[in-house]
Structure 1
Amino acid sequence: MTRADVEKALGPCQEAARVGSPSGMGECWRIVQNGEAKACKVITRGSDPERFEREVSAMQRIDSPRVVRVFGRGVLNTADDGADHPYLLSEFLPGGDVRQNITTSGWPDDSQLRAFLLAVLEGVAELHKANVVHRDLKPENILLLNSDWTQPVIIDLGLSRLVDLTSVTVYPWAGGTWPYMAPEQLQGERAFDRSDVWAIAVIAAELASQQHPFRRGEHNPPPDWDARLQAGMAIPGSRPAGLRDWLRSAGAYPGYRRPTAENARLQLESQWP
């Protein structure tokens, strides 16, 4: 995809450049028009028109500083294949995602980690209030505004399922990023709000221990993966005891034992003062 392709669909831009690495579904561009920076996400592979419409609908239903704002959508024709590809326009947030910030600035300390988790749980609770389940929470789908751990913003609701609408997903189906998927997702069952809480717990354990709590470099789930999940998440003893207590609840193997996102936030506040 070229700048000419982008400007053909969106009009002249003062700036237009690809940002980040191409994902499994497409690529993202940072554009500037009339002095305003926006992100243009173009779906170039595996496009599912109905799922894309649901992504846009899901994102437009949310009004929260913890969830990226979407401005509009359309279709972009690329010169290389002559095909039409859907795109969406959203606010461009400087700072990079969690993974990028770890690489450039290092891991969060206790204070940063606590503030980060409380803010992410606030955003996920807002999603759930709008009957939206994200289903693919991971470090790459959480931006840090201005590289500030206290200002995370949730992005990429491409796998979200609006729980008050008929699902386009046919089960059994496992979709998401497997190292962060809840046990029920990996078993092909329907994701629900507590599946997002599991993903946050995995991210919390990873940030606390500076390594994934279950994965040891495998590219695919190993044969003993489910046993690892059942064993629970361990973090260094140097981390606050309240965080370890919270992880036992938020990272419970049976989904029904996990708290809602709102209750998880309240528990974290009380257990880790």
Structure 2
Amino acid sequence: MDQRFSSADVERALGISSVSYLGTGTFGETWKVVDGDRVAAYKIIYRDDADLERLRREITSYRRVASENVVRLDNVVPLVIEGRRRVTLVFEYIEGGDLADAIPQDRPTADELVNLASGLLNGVSAIHAASLLHRDLKPANIALRGGDYAHPVVLDLGLAKLMDVESITRYPQMIGTPMYMAPEQLRGERALKASDLWAIGVVLYEAATGEHPFVAQGETLAWDEFFKRIARKPSLPDHIPASVADLIDRCLSEQPHKRGTVAKAIRRIKGD
């Protein structure tokens, strides 16, 4: 997605001269803001109808999420950009880039892959413990603290729900980019805790192999073909540690109940 706002726009809105564009996602674009010794990530929401006061009330739930594997959400503020008030979410800034940038460069080692899996499960567990779902877990929403595969940090926690988007992708659109959402979400059904497990399975497969388990890079599929593919689990390379391979296999079950629970997945990845 393209950048909408300029550095000058953001600097003028904040009254701060040290900002840099980080990227654009489903709901808006994110900027790194340096104000003296304080560094934060500001996510500027594109929707003009976003309710500032409601979002301020809602983030009370998000502040209950306490995990080193989940980004900290600090505040919701209004910014006036291009003459319009833009609701903006203020997060801690994670130095090190994200998983989407790391995957094309190199593969994680076996130990890093196990730690990546463990970190993602711990992060999602913390989100679920706060009675939240993520709903949009993908490599671009996973930061790597210090650029280390072994220290993932889940970003954009639950924004799909926070922004009142029950299903980001609607049937029967075409699939033109790698997909990370569970089959039930893609069919427009209610997201489940197991939906986040599906996403973890897809993300780990891609981190381990450099490829999406069902869709080739740049490939465009009709929905019927895509649903046929996800009904058949992908083969797993031998170099993937057994605990991670088992996790991926369970997570990529088309039926949600066969994916198990995050708590059981954590115990398995630890070898308990």
With the shorter chain as reference, the TM-score category is 0.7 to 0.9
Aligned-partner Cα distance in 1 for 2:247–2:29: 36
**Do 2:33 and 2:39's aligned partners in 1 also have CA atoms closer than 8 Å?**
yes
1:219–1:74 Cα change, 3 Å: farther
Q: How far does residue 29 in structure 1 lie from its aligned partner after superposition?
A: 1.1
TM-score between both structures, scaled by the size of structure 1 = 0.84
Aligned-partner Cα distance in 1 for 2:165–2:144: 30
The one-character-per-residue Cα deviations of 1:16-58 (angstroms, maximum 9, x if unpaired) are 12123x2343211111112111111101247543885587444
Q: How far does residue 60 in structure 1 lie from its aligned partner after superposition?
A: 2.2
1:134–1:178 Cα change, 3 Å: farther
Q: How far does residue 109 in structure 1 lie from its aligned partner after superposition?
A: 1.6
1:205 lines up with 2:208 in the alignment: no
Q: How far does residue 245 in structure 1 lie from its aligned partner after superposition?
A: 2.6
Unaligned 5+ residue runs, structure 2? 172-176
**Do 1:208 and 1:235's aligned partners in 2 also have CA atoms closer than 8 Å?**
no
**Do 1:197 and 1:258's aligned partners in 2 also have CA atoms closer than 8 Å?**
yes
Which residue is equivalent to 1:41? 43
Which residue is equivalent to 2:114? 114
RMSD after superposition: 2.8
Aligned-partner Cα distance in 1 for 2:102–2:167: 36
Correspondence list, 1:1-273, <5 A = 1-13=5-17, 15-20=18-23, 22-45=24-47, 48-49=50-51, 56-79=59-82, 82-103=83-104, 105-157=105-157, 159-161=159-161, 168=164, 174=170, 179-216=179-216, 217-219=218-220, 221-270=222-271
**Do 1:133 and 1:192's aligned partners in 2 also have CA atoms closer than 8 Å?**
yes
1:174–1:213 Cα change, 3 Å: same
AA aligned to 1:30 is K
The one-character-per-residue Cα deviations of 1:111-133 (angstroms, maximum 9, x if unpaired) are 11111100110010000000110
Aligned-partner Cα distance in 2 for 1:40–1:6: 10
AA aligned to 1:114 is V
1:16–1:247 Cα change, 3 Å: closer
Identity %: 34
Q: How far does residue 233 in structure 1 lie from its aligned partner after superposition?
A: 2.8
1:159–1:240 Cα change, 3 Å: same
1:170–1:4 Cα change, 3 Å: closer
Unaligned 5+ residue runs, structure 1? none
TM-score between both structures, scaled by the size of structure 2 = 0.85
Aligned-partner Cα distance in 1 for 2:32–2:227: 39
**Do 1:205 and 1:233's aligned partners in 2 also have CA atoms closer than 8 Å?**
no
AA aligned to 1:198 is W
